[in-house]
Amino acid sequence: MDFLRPATWREALEAKAAHPDATPIAGGTDVMVEINFDRRRPDVLLDLTRVPELTTWSETDGVLRIGAGVPYARLIDELGDRLPGLAIASRTVGSPQIRNRGTLGGNLGSASPAGDAHPPLLASDARIEVESVRGTRTVPVAEFFTGVKRNALAEDELIAAVHVAPASGPQQFSKVGTRNAMVIAVCTFAIALHPEQQRVGTGLGSAAPTPRRARDAEEFLSAELDWAGRRPLAESVAQRFGELVAQASSPIDDVRGTADYRRHALAVMARRTLSWVWEEHRSGRQECA
């Protein structure tokens, strides 16, 4: 096995171009489990933890650019006010030790249907910046997941960063699991209100082969909500929203839960998180963020 240690982003891209079969390793919280259990024997490991460009974030012209190597603990501490939905999801990841080490880029790299960072990124229309020696492109997060644990990266590409606008309205995330710490989600749901566009964003996790949005539910709700008058939510609207979210899923039966249970839970989570964000919107908090 080869172990490559690029010291800069440029070197990392050159290393990936020279060794397209190299497995990038960031926090290692997915890669090392596979190696320890002999499920994967990469010929080449490409260590990204020495690349300083990956561990920074910045805000330009109202868009955050978060380096792929930023761990959950920092997403929570440093970006919790700007991206509350992603921070809530990050708090549910693993344990403190996992959150200290596991990264946003690693979650996208693994592209698990159960990746907890994915639903809030979907709800906020994030874009994934990927790069190779050939150049840079950005992929809308909804197009980034191409199948179970598959993503849109070409073999010479690495994930550089995530671009996402800071919250302009309330955001929520909900996760069903058997206990609080250290669970792979049975299913998850993220919602973001974008009041300035009078629009709702959603993201579903562990509910289909890939994380996905519930587009019909988004359109329905965006049209029904009384954005300016901020009237209370009609029970029938919440009910219908939950149904549409459940319909957007295509879950499976597995050891963590049945497809029926997942559909039911998604409808409940959708109604519940909607009531939270709408109350927050009505009370006017967060509005000038």
Partner 1 sequence: MRLRFTVNGQPHEADDVWEGESLLYVLRERLGLPGSKNACEQGECGSCTVYLDGVPVCACLVAAGQAEGREVRTVEGLADGERLDPVQEAFVEAGAVQCGFCTPGLLVQTHDLLARRPRPSDAEIREALAGNLCRCTGYEKIMDAVRLAAQRTAEART
Ligand X SMILES: Cc1cc2nc3c(=O)[nH]c(=O)nc-3n(C[C@H](O)[C@H](O)[C@H](O)COP(=O)(O)OP(=O)(O)OC[C@H]3O[C@@H](n4cnc5c(N)ncnc54)[C@H](O)[C@@H]3O)c2cc1C
Query: What is Dmax (Cα atoms) for the chain?
Result: 63
Of 236, 213, 212, 208, nearest to 224 (Cα)? 236
188 binds ligand X (CB under 6 A): no
Among 13, 19, 27, 124, binds ligand X (CB under 6 A): 27
Candidates 37, 62, 236, 284; binder of partner 1 (CB under 8 A) is 37
Q: Could you tell me the smallest distance in angstroms from the CB atom of residue 95 to partner 1?
A: 2
Kindly state whether residue 100 participates in binding partner 1, applying the rule CB under 8 A: yes
Q: What is the CA radius of gyration of the chain?
A: 19
Looking at the Cβ atoms of 29 and 206, the one nearer to partner 1 is 29
Q: How far is the CB of 117 from ligand X (least distance, A)?
A: 6
Residue 159 binds to partner 1 (criterion: CB under 8 A): no
Tokens of 197: 């566009």
Q: Does 158 bind ligand X (CB under 6 A)?
A: yes
Residue 57 or 261: which CB sits closer to partner 1? Answer: 57
- The pairing of beta strand 23-25 with beta strand 57-60: unpaired
Q: Which is nearer to ligand X, 130 or 165 (CB)?
A: 130
Shortest Å distance, C-beta 172 to partner 1: 20
What tokens were used for 40? 């994967």
Site residues (CB under 8 A) for partner 1, limited to 39-58: 41-42, 45, 47, 49
Q: How many CB atoms lie within 10 A of CB 223?
A: 11
Residue 5 contact among partner 1, ligand X, none, beta carbon within 5 to 8 Å by kind: partner 1
Among residues 30 and 125, whose Cβ is nearest to ligand X? 30
Site for ligand X in 29-58 (CB under 6 A): 29-31, 33, 48
Q: Does 119 bind ligand X (CB under 6 A)?
A: no
CA angle 72, 74, 80 (to 5 degrees): 90
Query: Considering CB under 6 A, how many residues would be counted as binding ligand X?
Result: 29
For the beta carbon of residue 1, count every other beta carbon within 10 angstroms. 9
CB-wise, 80 or 166, nearer to partner 1? 80
Interacting positions 88-107 with ligand X (CB under 6 A): 92-94, 98, 101-103, 105-107
CA distance 193 to 85: 11
Alpha carbon distance 279, 289 (integer Å): 17
Q: Does 17 bind partner 1 (CB under 8 A)?
A: no
| Chain positions contacting partner 1, by CB under 8 A | 1-3, 5, 25, 27-29, 31-33, 35-37, 41-42, 45, 47, 49, 94-98, 100-101, 180-182
Q: Which chain residues interact with ligand X by CB under 6 A?
A: 23-31, 33, 48, 68, 92-94, 98, 101-103, 105-107, 109-110, 115-116, 158-159, 182
